[in-house]
Chain A
Amino acid sequence: MFPYIIRRLGLMVVMLTLLSIVTFLLFNAVPTDPAMLTCGKSCTPELVAANRIRLGLDQPLYVQYIDWIKAIFVGRTYGSGTQTFPCNAPCLGYSFRNGEEVTVMIKAALPITIYLALGAFVLWMVFGILSGIYAAKHHTEWQDRVIMGVALVGYSLPVFFIGLVLLIFVVVRLHLLPYPDYVAPQTNPVQFLQTMILPWISLAILYAAYYTRLTRSQMLETLSEDYIRTARAKGLPESVVVRKHGFRAGLTPIVTSAGLDLAGLLGGAVITEYIFSLPGLGRLSIGAVTEYDLPTITATVLVAATFVIVANLIVDMLYAAIDPRVRLS
């Protein structure tokens, strides 16, 4: 077990390095001139030239990359002479568009995305798994058909549809909730919940549809195994058979999907944050994209992808805990 973890950690470092290189190249080598993008319409040739030097964009690409990575660990100072901006570690860059360190902006946005993702995660796992198990238990009966029909329709709707319809009906038409306006939970817990409930529900519906399908197919697969018949023949109560013998054995793919989906969401639920004006990572990155704020885009992509790579590792570790048939070696 222990050597396996060490090896996986080593591999993760390699992956993160590759990831940072690809991300860096994607946003620094592909655009024709990153310095042009620091000021947009207010650009003058002098300003572009000055920004190019301030941000180190006049250096060769590999030097820029090394500076960028170094800054994450030890921080850096932009510019030279009298005009300098210090950027403390972990420094992910400096956003000229917002006149702020990218790390500071990400730190402000991350909690909102975490609340959003975790709340939705709990909802969709509970509903998805329960309805999946229920459908599998009633396989070929009407309950199964109804649940699968609803799940398939939910699965087929455009991503933004559910959030938008909830917003329009619950808030705009029926005035059941005030218009979403995010506050931190410690400031005003009631307003926090009022703002988050619809985003949680709309994300949860979207994912629950998928998890219902996944859980059901897993359960049908394991419930047809011989050892289930043995368990029933032993006279075990049906609930124990379903829970301990069926569900437990079919859990691995569900955990994989859950880990990766949660990690993906932690990188920013772009559409949901956009619809409900939640100032999370997704909104931050969309804003950065529309403003061509390259340092912010690069940093948010890096952060989001890091979540997924770390989640990959955690999921693989969890396998061994869930499924004794899996041996880590």
Chain B
Amino acid sequence: MSVATENEGLPSLDVVVPEATREQITGRTLRQIAWMRLRRDRVAKVSVAILLVIVFLAVFAPVLCGLLKVDPYTFHSEVISDNGGLPIGKWGGVSKAHPLGVEPGTGRDILARLLYGSRISLLIAGSAALITVVTGVVVGIVAGNSRGWVDKVLGRFMDLTLAFPVLLVIIAMSPVLEQRVVAAGVPDGNTSRVITLIIVLSVFGWPYLARLIRGQVLGLREREFVEAAISLGASNRRILFKELLPNLWGPILVYTTIAVPGLIGAEATLAYLGISVLPPTATWGSMLEESVGYFTVDPFYFCVPLTMLVAAVLSFNLLGDSLQDALDPKAGRK
């Protein structure tokens, strides 16, 4: 029996639906709707633009500094006063040669330090976010999809990790952990320092995402398409990563956009407490920490890294909000 005979005698559907209506009811996937909403969202567009500029500045820092003839490490004793070492001139020594002024005490160019510092700050925050998200997603999917003791053990493990006073443990663990990192063959100095920072910042973030993902998976695993995959004999791994994961991109994306600014702030906080890269290398956090001491006499120095950091954090947070609204199926119906 051929397929065609089954439809014999039935009116063609095309006749029933008029041309115009058919175009209007073209189905959109949630992803298309989200993308459409994002493109209409002015705040999201501005945030993305700011973030692109910051990333561009960081990536091309050596080129830009070369063009502007500034350098993050050279001391310029001629632009700071002899007693006190404060920058000569208004606005922290802003001049043609040093567009954002110079560092008190050393005369190093602030713009160059800011641009080079962006690279390390973004590297730390980005890598830590990546590790956090991957760990959180994998643990969350596994916990959500496995019933019984695996889920319970992972759940308790998440609770336990979340119970620790994060900042304190990070500060206490960093020096010890760095010794271990060096012992594992990583070159001592800023390489081991940055790797240590990335590790300690990643350790405590993942349970938040894992919980979120677990909750989503609990709902998804009862859906028909998962049942269909199981009855077709799909492997556990296929169900986890081919059936469930594609449905989780929304929360993962939103969480990542909110995690990155948190990590940028955490790096700054750690730097303030003295845990940062080794001088003369700079990060946004280490620049803030150094400039705090000059706040009353040279506030401009403090404002430069602060502006950069707040611009990045604010843009990420705003983008996160926009993404959340765009991906919310209920949004726009209220």
Contact = CB atoms under 8 A, between A and B. Distances in A.
- Chain B interface, DSSP helix/strand/loop, else mixed: helix
Nearest to B299: A168
A285 interface: yes
A305 B161 CA distance: 9
Contact of B176 (A30, A161, A274, A288): A30
Interface string A301-324: 100110011001000000000000
Contacts of A288: 172
A160 B173 CA distance: 21
A60 B180 CA distance: 21
B309 A301 contact: no
Contacts of B159: 15, 309, 312
- Chain A interface, DSSP helix/strand/loop, else mixed: helix
B268 A289 contact: no
Interface residues of B, number: 37
Contact of B160 (A15, A155, A158, A268): A15
A310 to B, nearest CB: 10
Nearest to B171: A289
B318 interface: yes
Nearest to B316: A156
A297 B163 CA distance: 16
Interface stretch (B62-70, B100-108, B239-247, B288-296): B288-296
A168 B261 contact: no
B310 A156 contact: yes
B34 interface: no
A224 B272 CA distance: 43
B181 to A, nearest CB: 12
Interface string B281-323: 0000100100010011000000000100110011001100100
Contact of B261 (A14, A153, A156): A156
A23 B172 CA distance: 11
A202 to B, nearest CB: 14
A27 B160 CA distance: 16
Contacts of B269: 158-160, 271
A184 interface: no
B163 A30 contact: no
Contacts of B292: 164
A172 B293 CA distance: 13
Contacts of A267: 165, 168
Contacts of B35: none
B65 to A, nearest CB: 25
Interface of B: 156, 159-160, 162-165, 167-169, 171-173, 176-177, 179-180, 261, 265, 268-269, 272-273, 285, 288, 292, 295-296, 306, 309-310, 313-314, 317-318, 321, 334
Given A22-B160, A301-B165, 19 more contacts: A31-B176, A152-B314, A152-B321, A156-B265, A156-B313, A158-B269, A158-B272, A159-B268, A161-B306, A168-B296, A270-B167, A270-B171, A270-B273, A286-B168, A286-B273, A301-B168, A304-B164, A305-B164, A308-B164
Top-4 shortest CB links A-B: A304-B165, A308-B163, A156-B313, A305-B163
